[in-house]
Structure 1
């Protein structure tokens, strides 16, 4: 594995290997990297969890993290993504983690760039490291994916999390359902009310309403969306025994989920954040070891 760009590019064996390595890191194992590598995190969109999680993972692996501030970079002067990454490569970096507004921005980097590229989110496209940490969270809970019923609810068409997880979960044997307003389904076949989903699901995965990606905003009040499509207190009481709640965050409290459920017994929302460090350690180590 030279780069991590999309869940479509990973085999099931590669996915399981990353999850297994993350479990070893969580158990206290240390990296076997032969030297300290240089990495930069290029975030052209806002991020709290993903950016700091990668930085922590890189430092845990003994890497040197080279600061990069997109708001003060030559990208503001019109420099292309290719030229930015090529510059960092020639300075001596070994890998870059990139989040960008453009779908599949990485296509222009596949010829002529030799550093490892990790896609930390491309527009409304893919978010493979988030998908892998979601998979890790589910695997820790249930042991496997075969036979699980998972409902992904929210802004489906704009969600790179939904698209990445849809690919992986279905390939690994889970049954995946989608719930959203009709105009937010995109290419997905989606339910538009909860019906029996709430009682059947082993995992309820909620998604943030991405107002910034809507050309025409759906005229939902906060309360209106919550009552129709959110995880309310009443719906949580209908969930099956052992079912869990997930959300990639950031959370619109009181919109996708009642605020009192964010840290309830079923919730794995903040555990997902913690799991993200171990998974990203496994991702970075896997790519760098492939270059040794």
Structure 2
């Protein structure tokens, strides 16, 4: 039988680059959708150049495709972007691409949403898909709006909500944590008790494969997370282990560290360092999926590889 053909957006981004390699390695034929001509990586089945902000004519890109994996969008790290940009690139482009996929009779649309479609930077308790979504900033609201747009289109879809993603070439918060781990001095972070769920690009690509292969109808959001949450101190300890160093973490009380961050205008950083955001991949687990990577060993391996 002919291998399934997947149309992939965002193949030049942090997650998209890994998905391209992982899907190809798993036997899929992959057609990449590009904003501009670039040197094409090996192993792809074709490429189409187009603008996702104007996806009215995607017949060439989607013709014959069995599925779309949509990982392109305006990243959360671009915190200064206007609200309209998030709506254009994250909501309207997703809506237009999904409508085009429905017209092309694509079997399934896999949308890389975000845990921030469901919550702010921290949350009480353990989040699952059963919790009502409550995004707190334009990025998360634009992702949730895209999910709601998919629900109104006649196509089977899965809106994956990954927690904080780590892996080679990582950006944003995980890149900042890696920079902290590389600092050659003790850090006053040993007293942080807040815990965070993470997911590696390897585990995320495994979840994408799981929903591409799933039988029946999905049409729902699915959290993607590795099983055991970790504290910031444990993250840095695991990374420093991979760097061949001791953790070097001094247990300064959370209250003192939090007050110092608040006084210096770093309130969001305070919430990220001290608050917890634990999520369970309940929907995927019900489908039989388990993350193939354990977070602490994944972080250690990342640092060992020079991540």
Q: TM-score, normalised by structure 1?
A: 0.37
Greater fraction helix: 1
The structure showing larger relative contact order (alpha-carbon pairs under 8 Å, at least 6 residues apart) is 1
